[in-house]
Amino acid sequence: MIPLDPLIKSLSRLPGIGEKSATRLAIQIFRDTTGLAQDLIKSLVHITEKVVFCQKCQNISEQDICDICSDTSRNTHLLCVVQEPVDLMMIEKTSEYKGLYHVLHGAISPLDGIGPEDLRVRALIERVSNEDIQEVILATNPNPEGETTALYLKKLLSASNTAIKISRIASGIPVGGTLEYADPKTLARSLGYRRDF
Amino acid sequence: MIPLDPLIKSLSRLPGIGEKSATRLAIQIFRDTTGLAQDLIKSLVHITEKVVFCQKCQNISEQDICDICSDTSRNTHLLCVVQEPVDLMMIEKTSEYKGLYHVLHGAISPLDGIGPEDLRVRALIERVSNEDIQEVILATNPNPEGETTALYLKKLLSASNTAIKISRIASGIPVGGTLEYADPKTLARSLGYRRDF
């Protein structure tokens, strides 16, 4: 395997890929005859040279200001805070949200050594101070890390701008789901978030 | 995600990596600040430019003839046939085998559309004809594909060289294992392969 060692080592650095998987992948890439290695090189060069973080929302972008931030048809008073670029993508797929976004690139997780300073929090506070934002929707995950992050941001945002409205996405029984199979915490949250009908 | 799309598409081409995993990996590679993308590019360029198949044993090598094939201290009368480069590596780790190898790069699997013509079989037959090989050890996996391949090679090798000895690696209870937890087929094979003691 020695000739493939550098590639195996690089691939092992990817999250969730151990040495065995990396070895298997390296052999497959080497054995491939359809230009997979060239494709990977080209696309990796592309991200190192052309892809940046949007200076406003911190999402992944090919321009300094991304398409969403520069879209004048969107509601610039509404800001949705998400953990990951993929969360933004999922919300965009619903076609229900027309405001702006802010991507934190993670959540507070003391066990993993991730604190607020590792997230794009300062940029968020600056935006809330400088832009005319009326409501911040905290759309971090409803799990311990996401909840901690939401609580932390609520405190920070309230302190920096008392006029701002802060909201949190709802948790509850998924659409199409049944109470029978819901876990107790979700069911309790679903009751707590009940609304007039 | 559009800026990362080319990379996500390339990564999705890797075996066992779907679109969701590819997206996660692409974001991690982009977000990494320790030179992971550069590392991957360098090692991919290395395998496309410097790594080849050994012209004799078909193993992955940085020379036309690999270190094992050119090692004059090895027993050139003994040839061990394996499915994958990783199998060769595992046998080398035992330090018990001092003969040569031949790597097939796969096994016959009609369900996956893999026939003998997709494997390095012709090169094997040529070696057996041209080199002074006295015994071929068929070390393909003891699973349906590996067994089929072993049977196919036995027939082919016997036909091309009647003097050659053909052997097959033993199956049985793993060292440290117990009969109680062995599956019936392994136990039957272990009895069938019994030897004087």
- Tokens representing A168 are 């949190």
CA distance A24 to chain B (A): 8
- What is the per-residue pLDDT across B91-136, written as a single tens digit (0 to 9) for each? 988 888 999 999 999 999 999 999 999 999 999 999 999 999 999 9
What pLDDT is attached to residue A34?
A: 93
A9, A38, A62 member nearest B48 (Cβ): A38
Q: Is the pLDDT of residue A61 over 90?
A: yes
Region A179-183: mean pLDDT is: 83
Average pLDDT, chain B: 91
CA distance A22 to chain B (A): 11
Q: Where are the alpha helices (DSSP H) in B77-143?
A: 85-94, 121-130
Task: Name residue, tokens 């590819």.
Answer: B22
> CB–CB of A7 and B60 under 8 A?
no
CATH 3.40.1360.10 in chain A is located at 75-192
Distance CA B137, CA B154 (A): 10
Nearest CA in chain A to B32: A14
> CB–CB of A21 and B21 under 8 A?
no
Region B60-83: mean pLDDT is: 95
Distance CA B102, CA B81 (A): 5
Q: Which residues of chain A does B89 touch, with a Cβ-Cβ cutoff of 8 Å?
A: 1
Q: Which residues of chain B does A23 touch, with a Cβ-Cβ cutoff of 8 Å?
A: 86
> CB–CB of B44 and A48 under 8 A?
no
Q: Are B81 and B136 in contact (CB under 8 A)?
A: yes
> CB–CB of B2 and A30 under 8 A?
no
- What is the per-residue pLDDT across A22-31, written as a single tens digit (0 to 9) for each? 998 999 999 8
- Tokens representing B65 are 């003839």
What pLDDT is attached to residue A119?
A: 96
pLDDT-based confidence at residue B178 (cuts at 50, 70, 90): confident
Q: What percent of chain B has pLDDT over 70?
A: 99
Q: Are B48 and B54 in contact (CB under 8 A)?
A: no
Q: Is the pLDDT of residue A1 over 70?
A: no
- Tokens representing B172 are 């049985």
> CB–CB of B26 and A47 under 8 A?
yes
Look at domain B5-50 and name its CATH class: mainly alpha
pTM: 0.72
pLDDT-based confidence at residue A187 (cuts at 50, 70, 90): confident
Q: Are strands B52-53 and B60-61 parallel, antiparallel or unpaired?
A: antiparallel
CA distance A99 to chain B (A): 18
CA distance B90 to chain A (A): 10
What pLDDT is attached to residue A197?
A: 76
Q: Which residues of chain B does A39 touch, with a Cβ-Cβ cutoff of 8 Å?
A: 9-10, 13
What pLDDT is attached to residue B1?
A: 59
Of the listed ranges A43-57, A71-85, B126-140, B172-186, the least confidently predicted one is B172-186
Q: Which residues of chain B does A86 touch, with a Cβ-Cβ cutoff of 8 Å?
A: 1, 23-24, 27
Q: Which residues of chain A does B29 touch, with a Cβ-Cβ cutoff of 8 Å?
A: 14, 44, 47
Q: Is the pLDDT of residue B171 over 90?
A: no
> CB–CB of B13 and A39 under 8 A?
yes
> CB–CB of B27 and A51 under 8 A?
no
Q: Which residues of chain B does A28 touch, with a Cβ-Cβ cutoff of 8 Å?
A: 14-15
CATH 1.10.8.420 in chain B is located at 5-50
- What is the per-residue pLDDT across B124-147, written as a single tens digit (0 to 9) for each? 999 999 999 999 999 999 899 999
Q: Are strands A165-168 and B60-61 parallel, antiparallel or unpaired?
A: unpaired
What pLDDT is attached to residue B123?
A: 94
> Which fold does the domain B75-192 belong to in CATH?
Dna Topoisomerase Vi A Subunit; Chain: A, domain 2 (3.40.1360)
